[in-house]
Amino acid sequence: MIPLNKIKNIWQKFPFEAVVWLSALAYFAIMDPGAENHFTICPLGAFGFDHCPGCGLGRSISLIFHGRLRASFQMHPLGLLAIIILSYRAFMLIYNTFKTKID
């Protein structure tokens, strides 16, 4: 059994950035990609612009998680690449944090 102080030490060293990326991917996995109203952090959308190079990326990722690959590619062609990059980044952050011996 792992001592409580060691668990606390692991939690304190856990990379916050990895939590952010994994939480975002989890959100995209459970969100409804067909919903009319969706949350956006796009600054161009907030200012009323109709087109942004990143628009549709979140829905594209969500469509992949729902098994709709063709619709995902039509929404934004970089959805799958975004999943791969974010997953890899989160994995490497966690791996690099815990590959060294935790005191």
pTM: 0.78
H or E element: which one contains 28?
Answer: helix 16-30
Q: What is the pLDDT of residue 2?
A: 67
Residue with tokens 């059994």: 1
Hey, what are 61's tokens?
């990722």
d(CA 48, CA 74): 23
**Residue 44: what pLDDT?**
79
**Domain positions in the chain:** 24-32+54-103
Tokens of 37: 């109203």
Output the pLDDT for position 18: 94
Say how far apart CA 5 and CA 52 lie, in whole Å.
47
pLDDT score, position 1: 63
pLDDT of 28: 92
Q: Along the chain (103 residues), what's the average pLDDT of each consecutive run of 10 residues?
A: 70 86 94 77 77 86 95 95 97 86 52
The helix, strand and coil proportions of the chain, stated in percent and rounded to the nearest 5, come to 65, 0, 35
